[in-house]
Amino acid sequence: MNCARIVRSALVVAVLAVTGGCASSEQWAEWRSHNTHFASDRHMGFSMRNNMEGNNPKVTRADMDLSPRENWWGKVITVRPDQIFEN
Amino acid sequence: MARWVAVALIAVAVGMATAPAPAASPTPAEAVGEKLIPLERYSTPKGQTLARVHQLRLYKFSEHIWGCLPWLDVQKQSIGFQRPKGASGDDRYFSTWILIPQAENPQFAAQPQTRRMSAMFSRYGVDLLRRMAGVHDVLADSNVHGFSVVLSWLKPGTSRPGAQPVNESLAAFIDKATGLEYLERRIPHADFARRMRVVGFDGQTDLGPQVLELWDDDFAATFKLPNYEPPAGVTC
């Protein structure tokens, strides 16, 4: 009886582990195949705007410079260059 | 009365002349040039000579990244010839540091930190390495020991309202032979990962040496921003 209970518990744990692992792998595969992971709505907003107006369908580098950057230098805690390099 | 008007006009004129001007966006030349390490920052003759000899090449490389990968940022004064902190000699690495705008993403956040570093290096580090290896004059210079690639991105969960944003970073140092063998697919991912030196950072906390797991990821090499037109004179 005890043995059967142990086997049953082990099976449940194994199934959970396997299915949990599968879900994680699928999600990770999604990130790896998601080719716009970096592009928040705000980053892409100017492109949509230009298309909707219909008079300037091209996006320039200047447009990109004007778009908000979520992790702009100076606002984020980042490793200092002198922690990595010597000049 | 006329005197008061004159005084007021003079005061306005003086005020306009001395008031700080609104911050202007840098010109394209400034945006590209500010990414290069200034010559005066190099502390050894070898570094200074490399920077001086390859100044134009570095500028063109900076322009290439700026114009062809417009969704990325390059840290100011990061493109040049650096040496690793604590190095005993003066081996110089052709270096670039990019900032990747990684949005909050539950799948990405669920991965262990080392796995996120592996993903970022697979996606952006290898592509950057390939672009750096395309700067032939620099590559051919015997005083260039290898490549250094630094990648930074927002640590998941730190860009939410009320949180202090923190970047995760990795700094990779790769000797020239190893880099070229890998790019030419003469060594597998695992060998390359073992032979390069990677240090991880969580904000400003040094996480120490990291061993990455790499895989093929052609996103950075193939993705085109919709409707994007590279600047005149930049070939992508």
Tens-place pLDDT, residues B59-107: 999 999 999 999 899 999 999 999 999 998 999 999 999 999 888 888 8
Could you give the ipTM of this predicted complex? 0.86
| Per-residue confidence (pLDDT) for residue A73, from 0 to 100 | 45
| Per-residue confidence (pLDDT) for residue B46, from 0 to 100 | 97
C-alpha–C-alpha distance, residues B38 and B55, integer Å: 10
CB nearest to B111's CB, from A28, A44, A62: A28
Mean pLDDT in residue range B199-224: 95
C-alpha–C-alpha distance, residues B150 and A73, integer Å: 14
- Shortest distance between the Cα of B230 and any Cα of chain A, in A, equals 7
Instruction: Provide CB contacts within 8 A for B84, sequence distance 6+.
Output: A84, A85, A86, B91, B93, B148, B173, B197
Q: Hey, is the C-beta of B227 within 8 angstroms of any chain A C-beta?
A: yes
Tokens in use for B188?
């597998």
pLDDT tens per residue, range B94-148: 999 999 988 888 889 999 999 999 999 999 999 999 999 999 999 999 999 999 9
**B107 with A40: Cβ contact below 8 A:** no
Please report residues of B whose CB lies closer than 8 A to that of A71: 99, 101-102, 152-154, 159, 165, 167
**B105 with A84: Cβ contact below 8 A:** no
The closest of A27, A62, A36, A5 to B108, measured between CA atoms, is A27
pLDDT under 50: residue ranges of chain A = 1, 12-23, 35-36, 39-52, 54, 70-74
Query: What is the dihedral sign for C-alpha B25, B29, B33, B39?
Result: negative
Domain spans in chain A, listed from the N-terminal domain onward: 1-34, 38-69
Lowest average pLDDT, out of A7-11, B10-14, B25-29, B102-106, goes to: B10-14
| Per-residue confidence (pLDDT) for residue B93, from 0 to 100 | 98
- Shortest distance between the Cα of A49 and any Cα of chain B, in A, equals 12
Q: Report helix, strand or coil for B45.
A: helix
Query: Which chain A residue lies closest to B76 (C-alpha atoms)?
Result: A73
The closest of A20, A55, B1, B45 to B9, measured between CA atoms, is B1
